[in-house]
Structure 1
Amino acid sequence: MIHLSWNCHGLGRTMTKTALKELIFKYHPNIVFLSETRLKNDKVSEIRRKCNFPFGITVKPVKTGGGLALWWDHSVVVQVLSKSKNLIDTIIKFKAYGSHIRISWFYGPPKKEFKTAFWNSITNLAGSIDLPWLCAGDFNEHLWPYEKEGGKPWDPGKHRFLREFMDTNDLIDVPFKGQRFTWSNNWPGDGLIMIRLDRGVVNTQWLERWPSMCVLHSPMIGSDHCPLIFESDPPFEKGPKSFKFEPMWVEDPECHEVIDKPGVFLLMSCGPRDWSQASAAIHPIVTDDMNQSMCKPITEEEVKDAAFQMGAHKAPGPDGFHGIFYQKFWNIINETITGTSTEFFNSGEISGSINILSISLISPFQCAFLTGRQIQDNILVAHEAFHYLKLKKSGKNHELALKLDMSKAYDKVE
């Protein structure tokens, strides 16, 4: 089952309605929750029908702000427990499963003078209902300092409401994919503020039923908030199959002959790898004595000691080899390992056979690593460009956009 939750920041704008229709077409959600619709109920119902949702409820906006909408299709039966300008609490039955779940749809008060009263009123929202439970939406709260960038420093006293609510009701934050922040003021330069205000939290019963539950932070288009796509059973993503050396191979006498062939070791250890997860930053804390010791030329004995200090059957490194491989075949590969290590320490350069992999991984034409630009900015630029083309209905100049990423699609084909 798939749910869409989005603070659309005004549902009446053409770009927002277009973005919503694209999200529904792409993800086929069973349920759609919208906050800050800023439209009268009849207008929201008209948009709901155009998006092919037969059922829905609305909460009218207060003056020119607020407004909630909850839509659903024929696959579910929705019972509304309560609704207000900040919350729609529901029990939902999925016809395919035949069981009930509880979902509370949030739009937390953005103004601090209303926060205390709202969060106090729902402190014990769990009550006596013993069901899998999801709380989703724009909480207008964040949990930790790293969930905010820019603006005033994080104050734990002011941002305690969501954390206390989760502790009281034994709720757990749902893992997310995509960009880290879900809201931005989109100001240029030092005035930029980004916060993770939107999320989903669940109880243990939900996790027991759907342990792979995750939420996708879709790019911000048509609003200053990310749409959230909740997937209870996300598809399993298979990565490239890595080479793994089996320790039992060392007992086979033919294994020595294979390893002794010229170039076999380098071919096996320098194959394609999945480098999607970057290593964390390492802060240099080295004294002068330590630095002098490290700058001394390395010896063959040091390289051998390092190889034989590895656990023989511990998990293999990125090259796929266990420690027992280096220890068992040291008399065959010692010159290659020692020579490569010595060359690197003496010249400060990676050998050509290894450097080929690095060059192929970082293209000279890439745009992921540009000074002053974050990776997620590329997504925003691409989406904004295509939205501009979709909304362009007049003018003498014709424009064209091409998606040219075929090298990524075929870079593993041999």
Structure 2
Amino acid sequence: MRVLEIATNKKFCLSMVYGFNDLCGRHELWDQLTRFASIVHGPWLVCGDFNTVLVHSKRLGGSSTDAEIEDFYACVDKCELFDSPAMGSLFTWNNKQDATTRVYSRLDRALINREWSMDMEEINYNKEHFCDIENSSLMALKNLEYIQSQIVQQPGDKDWIEKEKHAIKEYKELKEACAHFLSQKAKASWIKEGDILAIKDVDGVEHDDPQHIQEAFLKYYKSLLGESVSTTKVNVKIIRKGATCNAAHCSVLLKPITDEEIKAAIFSILEYKTSGPDGYSSAFYKDSWSIIGDEVCQAVKDVFRSGKLFRQLNTTVLTLIPKCKVPTHVTQFRPIACCNVLYKCISKLICNRLAEVLPEIISLNQGSFIKGRSIIENILEC
């Protein structure tokens, strides 16, 4: 993607990458980067998790094959990239095993081209600069409180009233930025330190091996969700005795999806909602709508036109949310599904269409779960 650095008004190319865990899977990434390098003009930053090391010395414990290192090195050489100066720990990942089997690797890195090193030297995104936002937010609040105290003493002073307006605006902006920063900081801490290191299974046996922990959760949820239950088939004759969709309802449900509906569905998804497997939240779609809006609308319309949903859109990440502060048992977690934004958009469009016809089909004595109705309306006095 093309990025404009506001402070310096300079533009550069940014490529965010994630390498597959297997050698063959990473070949596609190397090929894509090589092809992209031929059309890049100007500063270029390539960063992310490459899932392999560039030299043997960047892995401590375990081993790396010459083949995977040679492929990565050949790609970097063809693209004319090199490591950007980095701060902090030399290794960015470890397997969290015991000392005898612990493996450290530098899988995450930032690569830059020659143009970047020449033109973008003054851009330094260090943690000291960003961490200061917490202190800035606090100072802005103190400044606002001081101004308001002066207004109490001088109620009619126009200068202090004008200063208050600017101070409120500044504090709101810094407070919002600080909230976003702390949110990202919390996510980073959870990714680094929030792994489940030990758990008790349904029989009360404790496991600390990652594979056994995984099997304990699978066994528990399969016992809840994996059992087949005999059900009675729906009697169509009984269904037809009640209200059903007529021609007018079908016309509402089957009318073409519009660009306005798709945009409204996307923009109704809150920005801070956890992203799905593709890593994009609704904030990305909203901020980039002028660029990607037409393509997003076309993709969504194709789903309704063909009746087929790509597997990539239908992919979901299952996340375990603790029910208590210190969970120790598999039953003390609640699973949630993190879906892609486009999947959520399609679901919302279907729900919005159904919402137009369901109130006319569902009987009036069904009070709950219908917009505009309340279960209280069905309370009778005997």
Which is strand-richer, 1 or 2?
Answer: 1
Which fold has the larger relative contact order, with Cα–Cα distance below 8 Å and residues 6 or more apart in sequence? 1
Give the TM-score of the pair, scaled to structure 1: 0.30
Give the TM-score of the pair, scaled to structure 2: 0.33
